[in-house]
Amino acid sequence: MELSIAAKLDQRLEKAPVVPLVVPADPQSSIETARALVAGGLTVIEVVLRTTAAMEALEQIVSAVPEATIGAGTVLSDQQARDVLQAGAQFIVSPGLYAPVVQVAQAAKVPVFPGVATASEAQNAWNMGLRTLKFFPASLAGGPAMLKAIGSVFGDVKFMPTGGVSAANLGDYLALPNVLACGGSWLTPKSAIAEGNYNVITKLAAEAVAIAKQSRG
């Protein structure tokens, strides 16, 4: 029996709990970036809606890199949520908590990870039925210390810290039991993409996988 999107996502994040962010300059370089990440062992990829090329790139990556689970990030409105689902996004990530985006994803039975930075936001999300949340901006919102504190009152919630996460602190986050995975843009440096040096991205991805294995045992 084929796994659901949520089950496949969980399985892949358990194996490699890192979600690289792809900021599309154009569809072709974004496809090559995604392929380089997969070659390094990262098969859950977030394409962020921060450029005019993002929507087209998302659709093309979904088609060209079927071995990865491709989601859309920086989804700010319910219309954008509908658009990314139409483009083939398999999960949705938002920088903040906006009920209409959550509702679109829930109606489509697609995983959604809204961003929270406070206990009040986490409580609102919990009451929407969400048990996995983005923690953003992680470094500015208190980092691992904040996640330890918030975990004491939201024992059934997992977090995906993003924002200020790097190879240097990845292990600190992944060592926490309430961290599902970490998101980050350090894995897709603009300079390497501009130069077409995708081996750099594969190397960074493999390094992240190694750190994750060490942190998770």
> Which of the listed CATH numbers 3.40.1350.10, 3.20.20.70, 3.20.20.140, 3.40.720.10 matches domain 18-212?
3.20.20.70
How confident is the model at residue 5, as a pLDDT? 85
3-state secondary structure of 19: strand
pLDDT in tens, 180-195: 999 999 999 999 999 9
Flag whether pLDDT at 169 surpasses 90: yes
Catalytically annotated residues: 46, 134
Q: What is the pTM of this model?
A: 0.96
- Percent with pLDDT over 70 in the chain: 99
Q: Is 200's pLDDT higher than 70?
A: yes
The predicted pLDDT at position 81 comes to: 98
Q: What is the pLDDT of residue 201?
A: 98
Q: In which residue are the tokens 């901006």 written?
A: 137
Query: Confidence band (pLDDT; 50, 70, 90) for 6?
Result: confident
Please state the domain extents for the chain: 18-212
CA dist 175 and 167 (Å) reads 13
Average pLDDT, the chain: 97
**55, 83 in Cβ contact below 8 A?**
yes
Q: Is 80 exceeded by the pLDDT of residue 105?
A: yes
The predicted model gives 198-210 an average pLDDT of 98
- The residue behind tokens 């450029």 is 51
Task: List for the chain the helix, strand, coil content (%; round to 5).
Answer: 45, 15, 40
Instruction: Examine the pLDDT at 2 and tell me if it is beyond 70.
Output: no
pLDDT at position 4: 85
pLDDT tens for 60-100 read: 999 999 999 999 999 999 999 999 999 999 999 999 999 99
- pLDDT tens figures, 131-167: 999 999 999 999 999 999 999 999 999 999 999 999 9
Query: What angle separates helix 54-64 from helix 78-86, to the nearest 10 degrees?
Result: 30
Nearest by Cα to 183 from 128, 113, 109: 113
